[in-house]
């Protein structure tokens, strides 16, 4: 509670007194939510959670505050769990959930130490992919390439990530050869399609990249579209697509998934987490 009061004081002391007096529509809950997002952008997950808790004191029924606070509450608990517990199956699930949250929120720096630890201890395909994703998100392309080169039997997704690393490191011929050997299955998951679109965009294949992005969003559950679009918009691999006339239309593609549970790996990043009986 002391931290909530401190955040309240910080928000309102930084708000111009004249604005408070003159603007009858001033929304303290909205100001606290903005503070929460600012703290999250700075990597202060616990502070962001406290800010959203304070926002809920102002607007207890606000659906966005409820969902955001539920996600941040779960993430805060998972952060404590992974730092105080030895690696186990439950620990691995918690680490994967945090990884998804961190990358969705553009906090690759927070994911890096966790993903290194997870892969060092578990050494499986999932940990290799997550570490490679985080290395690429952190601009550590050479390290990502080394990691993926050492994989004994790389999966489709690992080879896609390798292609992205090769492109960034200037080895376009190698990336083109790798891309030519990739066969996309009809039921490929949306994350793999998005990453393949990154590779095609890097290889100067905008039509293929946009088509893959469209299909990726169509296969993304409704609850995950906001996070998926945020990842696309924040990814430098798509820089060449943003000037194209079809880019914004593709970005608005809706989900074709019939939802119950989203079926994703991360309850922590699901917007329905607060109202879900599954998690």
187-197: b (≥16 Cβ within 10 Å) or e: ebebbbbbbbb
- Is 49 in contact with 69 (CB distance < 8 Å)? yes
Side-chain-side CA neighbours of 142 within 13 Å: the count stands at 0
Signed CA dihedral, 222, 226, 228, 233: sign only? positive
Which pTM does this prediction carry?
A: 0.81
| Cβ(223)–Cβ(259) below 8 Å | yes
* Tens place of pLDDT per residue across the chain (279 aa): 445 444 444 443 344 433 433 333 238 899 999 999 999 999 999 999 999 999 999 989 999 999 999 999 999 999 999 999 887 889 999 999 999 999 999 999 999 999 999 999 999 999 999 999 999 999 999 999 999 999 999 999 999 999 999 999 999 999 999 999 999 999 999 999 999 999 999 999 999 999 999 999 999 999 899 999 999 999 999 999 999 999 999 999 999 998 655 444 444 445 444 444 333
- Return the structure tokens found at 230: 């945020």
User: Shortest CA distance to 69 belongs to which of 80, 88, 56?
Assistant: 56
């Amino acid at each position: 509670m002391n931290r909530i009061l401190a955040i309240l004081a910080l928000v309102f002391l930084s708000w111009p007194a004249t604005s408070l007096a003159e603007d009858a529509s001033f929304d303290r809950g909205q100001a606290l939510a903005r503070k929460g997002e600012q703290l999250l952008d700075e990597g202060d997950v616990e502070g962001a959670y406290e800010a959203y808790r304070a926002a809920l004191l102002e607007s207890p029924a606000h659906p966005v505050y409820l969902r955001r606070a539920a996600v941040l509450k779960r993430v805060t608990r998972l952060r404590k769990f992974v730092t105080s517990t030895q690696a186990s199956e439950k620990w691995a699930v918690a680490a994967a959930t945090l990884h998804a949250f961190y990358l969705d929120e553009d906090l690759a720096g927070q994911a890096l130490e966790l993903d290194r630890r997870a892969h060092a201890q578990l050494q499986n395909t999932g940990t290799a992919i997550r570490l490679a994703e985080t290395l690429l998100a952190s601009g550590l392309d050479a390290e990502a390439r080394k990691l993926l080169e050492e994989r004994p039997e790389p999966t489709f997704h690992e080879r896609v990530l390798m292609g992205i690393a090769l492109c960034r490191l200037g080895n376009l011929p190698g990336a083109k050869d790798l891309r030519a050997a990739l066969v996309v299955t009809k039921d490929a998951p949306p994350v793999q399609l998005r990453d393949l679109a990154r590779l095609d965009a890097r290889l100067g294949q905008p039509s293929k990249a946009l088509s893959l992005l469209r299909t990726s969003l169509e296969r993304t559950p409704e609850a995950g579209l906001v996070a998926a679009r945020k990842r696309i918009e924040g990814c430098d691999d798509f820089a060449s697509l943003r000037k194209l006339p079809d880019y914004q239309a593709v970005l608005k593609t809706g989900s074709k998934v019939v939802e119950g549970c989203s079926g994703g790996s991360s309850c922590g990043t699901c917007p329905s987490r607060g109202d879900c009986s599954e998690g």
